Structure 1
């Protein structure tokens, strides 16, 4: 990996753009690789790169002008941190933008299983890693899961399987794809960054756009290459895949598998190319149809690594679900509490309501990014949840839209509007009936209210249980 970095930066003026966790790891490896002409860091915040620089001279640019085109174009190579929004398209700059993700995939693409999707990518990545590890495969997990790839790059061994979770921001500008790619789903998301659904979809499609013959794409039938994606226009159907496509489908509830995909998930039954598996409904930490779909995809991938059904099921039973992903927290005052703080779109809130039994209260709302909630609002009119507790900016918007479009639901007494999460929890406790469930599934981002969805979920748990909830949440 150091050789690859050195080839990229040899004799060049190099800038690390963004100095969070990934930016710091980029600086460490760039300094270790050596060979640059000049080296600098640029960030909106005041930062100190001295620790990562290891005694090397590093210029520092901070403040509101850290993204100025004149500054960026004074460098040859810019390591851009995912999520930083450039004022203009990359092609108009003189400098060349590179990323950890692109250089890492270029170096190790034949060893990588790259996983993306609007939702489910962290669960799928961690489950695949766990099962491969438990069944004897040399495996490492990295990427958007919270482990910058440069942190592991020097330790990768030949033949080791790299399970790589990839966000849309990591995929946005790359021109290389992993040998095995996984695209789970595509929903409206991150439009504050991309502006249009078409641009968001195109970023995600880089997971397979640069694959070669002999590569493999595991893909949800709803977002297959060549298919027009809802809301993204005809251009979303124009990105071909050169690899083998293995389709995956979730069979509608109550129906049987009918050959609509290479991987079919019907209830808790999975079928893949002549193999079949019954997912245990008890004794595993994952539950709900959306999680069964992720298990089905992982089952298909594991078959490519010759994992037997017996070993797969044994490993599945020891897997622990990730925090804040429809995580059962425990019982308090007769109510069961679930933390689904990672939910930032309406579709995932619908999945939560369909997965948890006897939902007494659903807590919805957060930062308003202009996401369309019409599907969620329609679903709520026919749902059996007794109390729909809305909060923050999106909660207020959903409250208004339901008042306008669904007057019967609005007048039913099931709807309540609160300011913040604390008031929503207090109301759920006051209205709750013993044996029911209170589910935090916000269908909205946490930014501006909490640092991230993890902090929101932890605050929810702490507010209800205090220190006593730590053990139950593990």
Structure 2
């Protein structure tokens, strides 16, 4: 099926000057496909960083701080999602496309796309795992870390591609997947989008261009106001919620055309995913799998064998009598609240990171009346939260619970001293890691090393 893709790209680039914008993993996977497609008059790559690896003969490199200034020198630009354009896309004379958009043009009828502010990776990998375990012909790619061109050769007439889709991948898309899962929406990435409306618009591209016969699974509050040609299935917490699927007490309730009122009980005591937010993600996966022909028995078997991704409320271990949890994936207040609601024995929470200017009012109100004994704030966002809590004055119960330290190392050291034996400490930052760590994964690994180091030094 790679032939179908290369033929499409040939038609796109034939006799055109082509630029690969961004030479990370996606750009490196785009270049050989463009070369194989043939027909391009000129091919170049552009990146802020020097291109260390040798490029194929005839391919030139444009690097340095001014690399974005060359786009209009080309006819077709393959943009990597991590690249932020310095003007509106319609202000360019070149045709700016993406690897994801091209893949959708070729295979959209066999794509299940998943987006949402939080829960994308868990939902995507769980959906892939269930379908694969149930004998389906399925491939995994997207924002999970696998460029879609890397799976194109495996696409055949029966293959389903399960793709995690970020807002950056969806931002300029004018084609939507056959099956779209829209999990949730929270204030995020405002440093890039500027307004919540622009961020929301990017996310909504997951369904905006769907066709008759397509399916959209979405949070009830995110149901599109306009009438869509796609079939829409809504989700809400609480039994008898009025949504198509509802979750209550670990049970998924829904209506079946043949059997009427139905339910599926998640084996919560036997799976490694914990927390109501994860059970809600399972409800989305369950609905999509039902429409893909997966039986309840197959679903349960796959659910029991699923291994959760790291840094998502991951149990690190019990060291010096304290249970440590790594929730480095948390970059907004809602996910920190979810973590604390899940860990009923949490004594201490570590909060803070890069300050992107998002609101922390919901988290501050939650902490004000919570029974968390130790609230350790750190870095720039932690400092802002501290200042905002101080303005709450008498509204914040037992303000002596609050501690501020500079960095994660200081926070872990303090947590080890003040967390009660037999209780839990969770790092759930409610903030991005950029400028301090390369990404949330590195932050989580550093946290685990700091915790493990205490055992060695005990």
| Interval of TM-score (by shorter of Structure 1 and Structure 2) | over 0.9
Summarize the alignment of residues 250-329 of structure 1 with structure 2, pairs less than 5 Å apart: 250-251=237-238, 257-274=239-256, 275-329=262-316
Unaligned runs of 5+ in 1: 227-238, 252-256, 470-474
Summarize the alignment of residues 352-363 of structure 1 with structure 2, pairs less than 5 Å apart: 352-363=339-350
Q: 1:125 to 1:467 in 2, by over 3 A?
A: farther
Q: Which residue does 2:87 correspond to in 1? A: 88
The root-mean-square deviation of aligned C-alpha atoms, in Å, is 1.4
Q: Which residue does 1:162 correspond to in 2? A: 161
Q: 1:18 to 1:404 in 2, by over 3 A?
A: same
In the TM superposition, residue 84 of structure 1 has moved relative to its aligned partner by 1.3
In the TM superposition, residue 356 of structure 1 has moved relative to its aligned partner by 1.1
Summarize the alignment of residues 20-169 of structure 1 with structure 2, pairs less than 5 Å apart: 20-48=24-52, 50=54, 53=55, 55-68=56-69, 71-169=70-168
- C-alpha distance in 2, partners of 1:435/1:263? 38
In the TM superposition, residue 308 of structure 1 has moved relative to its aligned partner by 1.3
Question: Structure 2 length as normaliser, TM-score?
Answer: 0.95
Q: 1:28 to 1:467 in 2, by over 3 A?
A: farther
Secondary structure in structure 1 of the residue aligned to 2:399: coil
In the TM superposition, residue 412 of structure 1 has moved relative to its aligned partner by 3.1
Secondary structure in structure 2 of the residue aligned to 1:398: helix
- Does the 8 A contact of 1:100 with 1:150 survive in 2? yes
- Deviation digits for residues 238-268 of structure 1, max 9, x if unmatched? x6532010001122xxxxx114211111120
1:462 aligns with one of 444, 449, 454: 449
In the TM superposition, residue 59 of structure 1 has moved relative to its aligned partner by 1.4
- Does the 8 A contact of 1:41 with 1:49 survive in 2? no
Q: Paired residues, what number?
A: 447
- Does the 8 A contact of 1:281 with 1:287 survive in 2? yes
- C-alpha distance in 2, partners of 1:357/1:245? 35
Q: 1:429 to 1:467 in 2, by over 3 A?
A: closer
Question: Structure 1 length as normaliser, TM-score?
Answer: 0.92
Secondary structure in structure 2 of the residue aligned to 1:310: helix
2:432 aligned with 1:450? no
- C-alpha distance in 2, partners of 1:240/1:458? 45
- Does the 8 A contact of 1:181 with 1:218 survive in 2? yes
- Does the 8 A contact of 2:184 with 2:219 survive in 1? yes
